[in-house]
Amino acid sequence: MGMKRSSETTRILIVAEDPRLSDGLRSPFASDSYQIRVIRSTEETDRILNEFKPHLIILGLSKSGSSEHDFVCALQQSAALFAHHEIPVILVSNQDMRDRFAAELFARGLAGWYVLPIGPHEIHEIIQNVLIQNRSLKHESELMQEVKRSEYRYRDLLENASDLILTLDESARLTSLNNRFFTLTGFEKSEWLNRSFLDLIHPDRRTLVRKQLEQVQHGRSRRFETEILSVFPDSPVLSFSLTPILLRGTIQGAMVIGRDVTEEKRLERDIHDLESFNESIIQSMESGLLTLDLKGRITSLNQAGEKILEWSVREIAGKTLFSVFLEEEARILLSDSAGVAPLTLNQEARLTVKSGRQIFVGFNKTDWIDTTGEKVGMLISFREITQLKQMQSEVLRMDRLASLGVLASGIAHEIKNPLAGIKMMAQACEEEMDASDPRKEYLTRIVRQVNRLDDLLKTFFTFAKPRKPDRSLHALGDILEDVLQLIEKKLSYQDITLSLSIPDTLPRIPVDSQQMQQVFLNLMLNAIDALPQGGDLSVWAARDSVDDEERPALLTDRTGSNFIRVAVSDTGPGIPGEILNHVFDPFFTTKSDGMGLGLSIVYRIIQEHQGEIRVTSESGKGTTFHIWLPSGESV
């Protein structure tokens, strides 16, 4: 509180029995800046103090006595007058009074004692000085009280703060610790005062913290996290903030504030463990899982998905489906799936993977919802069903072949008998005619066409009711050599280069040699027809590998023996994709003079040998027929 301004009225209480003395004391304060109240006896003091509330009390004693002395003592000691203890009191008396009571009254708080006689000017100066001094003392007292209150508040905040608050000296020894120290560590504060801060740190982290302290000693604030020692089973983890304490430019120590982050770290570990657990589940799934954000960009792909699509997540992250797949493929994956049960792979699509190979996948997609219920993207789960589609195709083809076989057998049987009659009658007529009869040529033609139809019927019978293979062990190379003798001239005539790779180490295979010659002859003749301008024809064989990506799924269930794989390839124009799946269908042909039964018969023969046949083709590069035959060796 500042000193009184000159515009304020100063209230002065004068207590003097002698009217002349009271008038003399009053005369210097006749201006409007002062308000003077005069009483004759100290008995009225209590009432006047409460009413008048003076800034200063002047006791005028013209003779020795004890009433004034008692008044001063009562003013300093009485509980009823406690509110007036800060009112300065000065005495004006003779020297004898001062000599007798000065020491005692000054000890009790007397502000001043002045000896009569004293002039008006001196009285005015004395009063002004006393008032100024009292106001200064009062202001200083108020400041000191405010400082103490602030200190108490500060100490209370420090002691009861939720954070650990420490102070270190220049040697990093603990000079103060708040109450949080005990709750965090279980140690008594008194046991740790003057100990090194490093002693509090977990031994595994002390090297790191020592380096941080060295930075603080060079005047740099530091922040770090570390475990500290405690009596509890789990060490608390604190996030420390160290600030150098500077005094006149010299580092005297550091202020340390440690926030308990044990629970946060535990939650982080739990979240990390949960994320790792979820990630391990996702990565161990046999199905692929692809995630998209709200803008349709790929955000993740699990390991199964990488294997199916042949793309790594690093290669496609941030891209859209239209950047990874063909436009129509991407549209199918993103098409509306209303009415589709979630988490079921009941939608199908053909996708082109990284290598250019086309696969079939069963897939389903669902919205990706976060913990707040907001949609943040899309989840697409998928599984490759290429082998399943192949198996379905095989079953359908076998059913169709069986049905057509029965039909062909019936038709062939019904046609064969009338043809036999026609041939017999034509031959009989031919024998009765003269050799010179021109009509005999017509009969010859009839017999020739009947024979042609008979050959066709034999083909029908071969397809409809193929004979069971008469299997015995044969070398694959020997079978192929017999076939090559039949097509050798045709290869040379059409300028076709033959490449044959049949290892001598291959085991002999249990097959019907005549039927297998029919298979390879049919395949090679088709290859020759695909190379009218010349080219390359290659035949190779090898032991089958279970890791072969082209290995038919049906072979997986045939665990009784190993397999030999044979491939017949040409460098012709290839087979268009839209008809590739129909090449084994009966009566399907692209040749103007073909019947469409050659590859169907090949297919039936391979099936009868418990083998499998597949075809791959690429436009402009050629076609390859892959055959898997049991080797006869036990697994």
Categorize the per-residue pLDDT at 258 as very low, low, confident or very high, splitting at 50, 70 and 90. Answer: very high
The pair of structure tokens assigned to 121 is: 């000017």
Categorize the per-residue pLDDT at 54 as very low, low, confident or very high, splitting at 50, 70 and 90. Answer: confident
Q: Give the burial string for 418-431 (b: 16+ CB within 10 Å, else e).
A: ebeeebeebeeebe
Residues paired with 448 in a beta bridge = none
Q: Classify 285-384 by CATH class.
A: alpha beta
Name the least confident of 271-280, 308-317, 497-506, 517-526.
271-280
The 3-state DSSP class for residue 260 equals strand
* Torsion angle of the four alpha carbons 306, 308, 311, 317, in this order, in degrees rounded to the nearest 10: -60
Q: Is the dihedral of CA 179, 184, 186, 191 positive or negative?
A: negative
With beta carbons less than 8 A apart as the criterion, state whether 18 and 62 touch: yes
How far is CA 526 from its chain centroid? 55
Architecture (CATH level 2) of domain 10-155: 3-Layer(aba) Sandwich (3.40)
- 311-360 per-position pLDDT tens digit: 999 999 999 999 999 999 999 888 875 444 444 457 888 899 998 888 89
Query: What does the domain layout of the chain look like in residue ranges?
Result: 10-155, 160-265, 285-384, 390-464, 472-634
Name which of 584, 540, 591, 536 is nearest 566 in CA terms: 540
Q: Do domains 285-384 and 472-634 have the same CATH topology?
A: no
**What are the strands, taking DSSP E only, across 557-635?**
561-570, 612-618, 622-634
pTM of the prediction? 0.44
Q: Which is higher by pLDDT, 380 or 59?
A: 380
The predicted structure's pLDDT at residue 123: 84
Q: Which is higher by pLDDT, 465 or 57?
A: 57
Give the span between the Cα atoms of 279 and 160, in whole angstroms.
43
Residues paired with 364 in a beta bridge = 381
Query: Which homologous superfamily does the CATH classification assign to the domain defined by 472-634?
Result: Histidine kinase-like ATPase, C-terminal domain (3.30.565.10)
Mean pLDDT of the chain: 81
How many Cβ atoms from other residues are within 10 Å of residue 609's Cβ?
21
Residues paired with 538 in a beta bridge = 499, 569
With beta carbons less than 8 A apart as the criterion, state whether 235 and 227 touch: yes
CATH of 390-464, one of 1.20.1300, 2.20.25, 1.10.287, 3.55.50: 1.10.287
Q: 160-265 in CATH: which number?
A: 3.30.450.20
Q: Is the dihedral of CA 498, 504, 508, 509 positive or negative?
A: negative
Q: Which is higher by pLDDT, 393 or 489?
A: 489
* H/E stretch holding 264: helix 262-284
How far is CA 144 from its chain centroid? 58
Beta strands at 164-169 and 174-177: parallel, antiparallel or unpaired: antiparallel
